[in-house]
Structure 1
Amino acid sequence: MAPSLVNAAFGALLAAALLGAAFDRRSVAVVVASAVLPDLDAVASLAVPGATNALLHAVWLPLAAGVALYWDTRVADASRLRGRAGRRGVRIAWVALAAFLVAGVGPDLFGGEGVNLLYPLHDAYYLVDGGLLFSTEDGVVQTFVAFGGQGPGILPLETLGTTESYVVSTGINPDGGTGLSLGADREFDLVRAGWQLVVVASAVASLSVRFRREGRTGRTGRSNPTGDDAEVRR
């Protein structure tokens, strides 16, 4: 699985980009925590065989949360979340859900160790990996979607195995088995590649700029709020 620090950095970037006027330390903490939450299935794997990248990486939890959130905020006559937390709470909830999917599950599904998307209804780890390039001879070449007589299909959707045959090693559970192996060599990665370090540095820079700007506007006050920012403040 991708290092949790990288998931947190992706979540922080989403928080800086999407929270708008709801941006503050508490809301950023909620979004970053949502981005790291899927990694807790590595802890569950100590008791549940094969839970890593499966139990909290499957689509069911975010799907249920998204349906419930959409129903409450878009369909129901009176939104319980909006009534208790206002528009600010609604925005934080949607951004947190996006962080769970994009920053928490995405790095493992696209180019990571793979995700057991339909666990436990269907036990199979999937990995999506492809490329997009421009060739002077062939023009634009992509390997994400294949077009043929049977219709479009996802080319790089690779099946890696099941919870019985495929092991995702983590610092918490290096061998993927149940039980806490006290003598096992544990390595907790912070970053594994240069691009991950760039993501972490970008997240730190983005949050620093946002917090500094929010601190300035907090001292000087805002003038003529408009759009979503005005709605969140009301």
Structure 2
Amino acid sequence: MAPPLVSAAVGALLAAALLGDAFDRRSVAVVVAAALLPGLDAAASLVVPGATNALFHAVWAPLFAGGLLYWDTTHRTESALRARGGRRAVRVAWVALASLVVAGIGSALFAGEGAVLLYPFEEARYAVRGRLAYSTQEGVVQTFVALGADGHGLLPLESVDAATAEPVASWINPDGRPGIDPGADRRFDFVENGWQLVVVAAAAATLAVRFRGRGGDAATDGGGFR
């Protein structure tokens, strides 16, 4: 699984890009927290077999939250969320949902060991694998969409492992299996390679520029999300 700092950095970049007038420290904190939420299933793996990258990485919670949010803000005569926090709260909620999907689940799906998208109905862990390149001899080469007998179809998803048979290790649970081993070596990785360090640095710089442009926390002086 991607280090929590990297997921938080991607969430912060989404906050800076999508929050618009709702951008302030409180809103950024909500969006970043949403990015970190799926990673909490690593703690659940101490009790639930194969929970890492599965329990909170499945598609059901985002689908339910997105459907409920869409219904409340589009089809209800009076939106409960809009009545409570105004348009700012609606925008923050949508950006937080995007952060949950892209930064939280996507970090495992695109750059990690994969995510069990259909948990608990299926234990297969899926990952996006492929490349896009230009060759002077072959032209554009892409392996994300590969139709035919040897291809994986329109969706670039590959089944890489099973959640219970091949559990994902984490700093909370080094072997990924239920139970606590006091003697296990637990190492918290801030970043694992160079591109992750670039993402974290870019997020920190982007937030610094955005907050300086807005004069800090001025948008929250009135309290709440209004």
Question: What is the TM-score normalised by the length of structure 2?
Answer: 0.92
State the AA in 2 paired with 1:172.
I
| Residue deviations 1:73-122 (CA, integer Å, cap 9, x gap) | 11112111001011000000000000000001111101311100100011
Code of the residue aligned with 2:93 in structure 1: it is A
Deviation by residue 1:162-200 (Cα, 9 ceiling, x = unmatched): 222112000100011112211111111100010000000
Within 5 Å, give how 1:43-192 maps onto structure 2.
43-148=43-148, 153-154=153-154, 156-192=156-192
**Kept after mapping to 2: 8 A contact 1:124/1:161:** yes
Please identify runs of 4+ aligned residues in structure 1 that moved more than 4 A.
Answer: 216-219
Match of 1:42 in 2: 42
Instruction: Report if aligned partners of 1:143, 1:155 keep a CA contact under 8 Å in 2.
Output: no
Specify the structure having the higher radius of gyration (Cα): 1
* Aligned-pair CA distance for 1:46: 0.8
Give secondary structure in 1 for the equivalent of 2:186.
coil
Instruction: Tell me the amino acid that sits aligned with residue 201 of structure 2.
Output: A
- Taking the aligned partners of 2:111 and 2:10, their CA distance within structure 1 comes to 15
Q: Verify the 8 A CA contact 2:24 2:217 in the aligned structure 1.
A: no
Verify: 1:19 aligned to 2:19, yes or no: yes
* Deviations 1:111-162, CA, capped at 9 Å, x for gaps: 311100100011111111111011111111110012349x981475221222
Secondary structure of the residue aligned to 1:16 is helix
CA distance in 1, matches of 2:155, 2:51: 26
CA distance in 2, matches of 1:121, 1:48: 15
- Aligned position for 2:222: none
CA contact (8 A) 1:36 1:104 kept: yes
Quote the Cα distance in structure 2 between the aligned partners of 1:114 and 1:75.
35
Q: Report if the CA contact (8 A) 2:2-2:111 is conserved.
A: no
Query: Letter of the aligned partner of 2:213 in structure 1?
Result: R
Match of 1:194 in 2: 194
Q: Which amino acid aligns with 2:203?
A: A
Aligned partners of 1:135, 1:203: CA distance in 2, in Å? 32
CA–CA distance in structure 1, aligned partners of residues 106 and 217 of structure 2:
34
Evaluate the alpha carbon distance shift between residue 154 and residue 45 of structure 1 in structure 2; reply closer, same or farther with a 3 A threshold.
Answer: same
Aligned partners of 2:54 and 2:119 also within 8 Å? yes
Letter of the 2:50 counterpart: G
Query: How many residue pairs are counted as aligned between the two chains?
Result: 221
Unaligned runs of 5+ in 1: 220-232
| AA aligned opposite 1:116 | V
Q: In structure 1, the residue corresponding to 2:111 is in which secondary structure?
A: coil
* TM-score, normalised relative to structure 1: 0.89
RMSD: 2.2
Give the Cα–Cα distance (whole angstroms) in 2 for the partners of residues 58 and 217 of structure 1. 35
Residues 165 and 154 (structure 1 numbering): CA distance in 2 closer, same or farther, change over 3 Å?
farther
CA contact (8 A) 1:2 1:108 kept: yes
Query: Unpaired segments of 5 or more residues in structure 2?
Result: 220-224
